[in-house]
Chains A and B, each alone.
Chain A
Amino acid sequence: MTLTIAQATYDAIVAHARRDHPDEACGVVAGPEGSDRPERFIEMVNAAGSPTFYEFDSSDLLALYREMDDRDEEPIVIYHSHTATEAYPSVTDIGLASEPGAHYVLVSTRQHGNNDGPVEFRSYRIVDGVVTEEEVDVVPALPAD
C-alpha cells in the first residue's frame, strides 16, 4: 500500500499544519470515487481549536460531504497535525476513524512549529481499530488517468 500524492498537495498540507501550530490543523483531499487519487485539497476549520484535538465543524462536515457527493468524490486523504507528539495515530484517532477507504495522513510540527524545517509526514490505513502504516510517494504531479 502506498499513498501517491502530488508535491503541491503535500506542500499545502504541511503549510496548513505550520500555520495553525500550536493548534491541530485538519482537512481532506478529495478525489473521484474509487480512484485513490487525492486531487482536490480542502482545508477544514478545526472546530475544537485545540492543540490536542481536532473536529470538523458539524455544518462544514455536512457541506463537504454534500459537495463530494454531487461531484462523485470521496475523501481520499484525511489529514491532521500533531503539534507536540509524533505523527502516529493516537488512541482517539484510531477510535474515531470512520473512513476505512481513506489514507489517514499525520503531520507533526513538534520540531519546528510555525517555522520552516522538516516535518514528519506519515500515512496510515485505519480499519476496525487496526493501524497499518504505508509508504508515501510524493510525485511532481499525479499520473494521468
Chain B
Amino acid sequence: MTHSTKAFYWMAVPALLLFVVLHTIPVVTGMFFSLTDYAGYGKWNFVGLQNYVSLFKDDRVLASYGFTFLFAITATVIVNVLALGIAMLLNARIKFRTAFRGIFFIPNVLAVLIIGYVFNFIFSNSLPLLGQSLGLDWLSTSILANKDLAWLGIVAVSAWQSIAFSVILYLAGLQTIPAELYEAAGLDGASYWRQFSSITFPMIGAFFTINMVLALKGFLQAFDQIVALTNGGPGTSTESVAMVIFRGGFQGGEFGYQMANSVVYLLVIVAVSVIQLRTLQRKEADF
C-alpha cells in the first residue's frame, strides 16, 4: 500500500462510517418495520407483506402518486424551459449582467416555507382582488381553494423557487462552449435558432441531463411548499406522497404501513432517476 492510498482510506473510512451509522442503518431499520404493524410505540407484530398488499389497494395512496407525478413532471418541464431561456439571456452581453445574475439567484436563497406563506397570501388575497376588478371568474376566489386549480399554484411557486438553481447550472454549462464555434457558424450563415439547436443545446447536454434529474427528483419529494400553500387541500386533492407518509406514519399511528409506502417510493424514485439518466445521456454530444 503506497502512502497516498493510505491517506485516501483515512479520509474515506470515517465518512463511510458516518454514512452507514446515520443513513444506511436507519434505512434498513425502517425497511424492517415496513414488515410489521408497528405504530411508532408500544408492541408490534410481524405481518409479512401485508402492508405492501394493502398499499396497492389504498386509493388515497394511489391518488397521491398520481398527484405527485403530475406535479413533478409539469414543474420539471416548466423549470427547465424557463431556466435555459433565462440562462441564455444572462449569458448574453447585456448591461448589469452580474447584478441580474445575483437578482435571479435570490429565490434559491430564501426558505421554501417563507416563500410559500408569502405566495399563500398573494393567492388568497391579492390575486382574487385583481380577478374581481378584471371580471375574471376563475381568479376572483383563491385558486388554492379550488381543487382543480390548486396544484397549479403549487407548480408556480415551486418553479419560481427552483428556476434559480437550474439557471446557475445552465450558466456554468453555457460558459464551457468555445466562442469559436459560434464565430464559425456565423461565417457559415447559420440562423440564431440553428446555432441553438446544433451548437448550444448539444454542447450543454450533460447539464441538461443533470438538471432534469435533479429537478424531477426534487419535485417528487415535494413537501414543504405544499404544507405552506394548501396543506394537502382542498380536501385531499394536493397530497403528495411524502405528505401521506408523514401524516399517516407520524400523526396517524401507522408507522409500519407508511414505512412500506416509503420503501416503494424509494424504489420508484431510484427507477425514475436511472431511466432518466440512461435515456438522456444517450442524447448528449460526445467531444
Same complex: no
A residues sitting closer than 8 Å to B (CB atoms) are none
